[in-house]
Amino acid sequence: MFTLPPLTYPYNALEPFISSQTLEFHHDKHHQTYVNKLNEILAGYPEMLEMSVEMLLQSLEKAPENLKMPIINNAGQVYNHNLYWEILGPNAGGKPTGELAQKIESTFGTFEKFKEEFANLGLTQFGSGWAWLSVNSNNELIIEKTSNADSPIIRGKTPILTMDVWEHAYYLDYQNKRPDYIAAFWNVVNWKAIESKYLAALEK
């Protein structure tokens, strides 16, 4: 059975940028619902319940045809949210350092240019979705946006940073002002955690 990973910081740890009410509602209600639904749809498939969400999404060709979209919709959202909580943190923000900083600069020109391009993906995502920074099979950094529960991991990339632009991620704090949420998001990005994910991706 899949379970909801607990947050590694208190609900109020990301204030004033993300409120404790939003964090509790988002994690304990929305994320939990995807976990519950995933367990429900895979109840008759014990071999799938033994997989990680990563393995599920990377082996969709093995799933029954009628389960592929439900798996994407629910395992995708479980995976996406897991990563989202992992790359946020208190006393965060600022800039990346080390190898990740160098790679961002060599790929995008400057960190500021990267932020601008990444933020624009979130701003221009029509409806619900996600913005991503991933490592591809050539160890290059790729930014992209996906709709709904879709994720670059399904296409063989290793996501290391994501921004949730579903309305439930920000509506209690920012209402329909997605640009304000995106601006605030950078203040809670945990670059140390992201660099660790980047270095791990290079070792795959």
- Same domain assignment for residues 102 and 198: yes
Please name every residue paired with 145 in a beta bridge, in sequence order, or none if there are none.
131
Section 176-204 average pLDDT: 97
- pLDDT at res. 12: 98
| Strand, coil or helix: 94 | coil
Record the pTM. Answer: 0.97
Task: Write the CATH number for 79.
Answer: 1.10.287.990
pLDDT confidence band for 71 (50 / 70 / 90): very high
Judge whether 92 lies within some domain.
no
**Strands annotated E in 96-157:** 129-135, 141-147
Judge whether 7 lies within some domain.
no
Paired tokens of 120? 């624009």
- Same domain assignment for residues 120 and 73: no
pLDDT of 73-82, one tens digit each?
A: 999 999 999 9
Residue type, 106: S
Judge whether 63 lies within some domain.
yes
Torsion of CA 95, 85, 164, 93, to 10 degrees: -20
- pLDDT at res. 129: 98
**Separation of alpha carbons 200 and 178, rounded Å:** 31
- Same domain assignment for residues 195 and 133: yes
Q: How many domains does the chain have?
A: 2
- Same domain assignment for residues 131 and 72: no
Instruction: State which of 86, 118, 140 marks the end of a domain.
Output: 86
- Same domain assignment for residues 66 and 104: no
Domain that holds residue 46: 20-86
Of the candidates 106, 85, 109, the one whose C-alpha atom is nearest the C-alpha of residue 32 is 85
Of the candidates 137, 97, 141, 140, the one whose C-alpha atom is nearest the C-alpha of residue 118 is 141
**Burial class of residue 178, CB neighbours in 10 A (0-12, 13-18, 19+):** middle
- pLDDT higher than threshold 90 for residue 204: no
**Contact by Cβ (8 Å): 164, 81:** yes
- Provide CB contacts within 8 A for 13, sequence distance 6+: 23, 89, 90
Section 161-190 average pLDDT: 98
Task: Write the CATH number for 123.
Answer: 3.55.40.20
pLDDT of 23-50, one tens digit each?
A: 999 999 999 999 999 999 999 999 999 9
- pLDDT at res. 64: 93
pLDDT of 95-152, one tens digit each?
A: 999 999 999 999 999 999 999 999 999 999 999 999 999 999 999 999 999 999 999 9
Please name the residue ranges forming H helices in 3-51: 20-25, 32-41, 46-49
- pLDDT at res. 66: 94
